[in-house]
Amino acid sequence: MLSKYKFKGYARISGAVHRRHLNFQKILGKGTMHSKFIVSDKRSFYLGSANLDWRSLNQKMELGVIVKECPCLAEDLSNVFDTYWELSSDGTATLDSVHRVNQREASYNMRSPLRVIHKGAPTDVFIATSPPLLNGPRRTWDLEAILRAINDSKAYLYIHVMDYFPMFVYSKPRRYWPVIDDAIRKAVFRGVEVKMLVAALHYPALGLRFLSSLESLSGINTNGSIEARIFKVPTPAAMQTVMVRERRTHNKFVVTDDTIIIGTSNWSGDYFDGGSTGAAFVAQQHGAGEEGRPLVAEMKGIFLRDWYSEYTHSVSEYTEKCLLTRTGAFCEADKDPALLATSQQ
């Protein structure tokens, strides 16, 4: 299932490729197709942040998970695809079609995950999705999975996401949406160490203000802390203008003491509560130390690698050099409306 904009111009091989358009503006009056996953033979799958175009696979910073030979979970994700496929069957789907579509029951969820063994460690996994309207019986909403991970964090909470806005940023009029923001603030008050890696690609004057507000909580008690950094993928000076903004982090994941979530949604109300589709792979490990939580340790290592890289910039530095004085060599280029339309990315 592809957005019509992603598939336009591709050669269609007769009998080998079948494609359909899923128009959420027509069905729900809002939202977009934002899931990114591939299921193979109902045995293996990929789920992650990358769109299926050369820019995502060559220019952007992406992260996803490949699950091999796990038919139980692959079939569960395939059921999500089947819902999309059925909704797009004749191109005339409406809101009434959503209630008639055969929404298959989730095999696993937040309360009843699948137990697998990863590198010798017991690991509980499940697939969570958005929007709730399309979720079949027993399917966990990906927002609920993220909130549980944040609320259950005890020592650390590391977030890497392209867009972070506690609001509906793409709809008019814009509305405040504090659901995740409130949970992060509560984590700081509980004494959790919070680190956030975010891009400053869309509406930076807005996004940086929210990040500054979160940072103001650092040191409010003896244990909790919060720091945000802007991650900018370096762009060669000779890069064509049209590609400058494609050199960006597009990651969407969170890692805590015992949980990792790799998703497809940016963190704003538009994605979780605005009718857009999204999917997330959720895994929990409760063993002792890094040996008992190898997947958590691996994701933590990936986050910290990027956190301590030369490509991160403090919120204050980015604000000063990219918004106020425009003297930074690392700033995101302004969006050229003639080249790129305003839309959810």
Mean pLDDT over 3-12 rounds to: 50
Q: Is the pLDDT of residue 161 over 90?
A: yes
Q: Is the pLDDT of residue 342 over 50?
A: no
The catalytically annotated residue of 4, 26, 41, 336 is: 41
Which superfamily is assigned to 33-71+108-324 in CATH?
A: Endonuclease Chain A (3.30.870.10)
**Mean pLDDT over each residue of the chain, to the nearest integer:** 88
If DSSP codes are grouped into helix, strand and coil, which group holds residue 21?
coil
Residue 34 annotated as catalytic: yes
Q: What is the pLDDT of residues 99-130, one digit of tens each?
A: 667 778 999 999 999 999 999 999 999 999 99
**Neighbour tally for 245: CB within 10 Å:** 20
The catalytically annotated residue of 202, 232, 250, 300 is: 250
CA 204 to chain centroid, in Å, comes to 18
Whether pTM > 0.85 for this model: the answer is: yes
Mean pLDDT over 208-223 rounds to: 93
Q: What distance in Å separates the CA atoms of residue 290 and residue 175, rounded to the nearest whole number?
A: 41
For the chain, give the percent of residues with pLDDT over 90: 64
CA-based nearest residue to 126, from 80, 159, 84: 80
Which are the contacts of 289, defined by CB distance < 8 A and separation ≥ 6?
A: none
Which are the contacts of 275, defined by CB distance < 8 A and separation ≥ 6?
A: 24, 28, 29, 30, 31, 131, 133
| Phi, psi (deg, nearest 5) at residue 186 | -65, -35
Band of the pLDDT at 230, cuts 50, 70, 90? very high
Domain ranges of the chain: 33-71+108-324
Q: Is the pLDDT of residue 26 over 50?
A: yes
Residue 250 annotated as catalytic: yes
The catalytically annotated residue of 36, 60, 202, 232 is: 36
**Neighbour tally for 288: CB within 10 Å:** 8
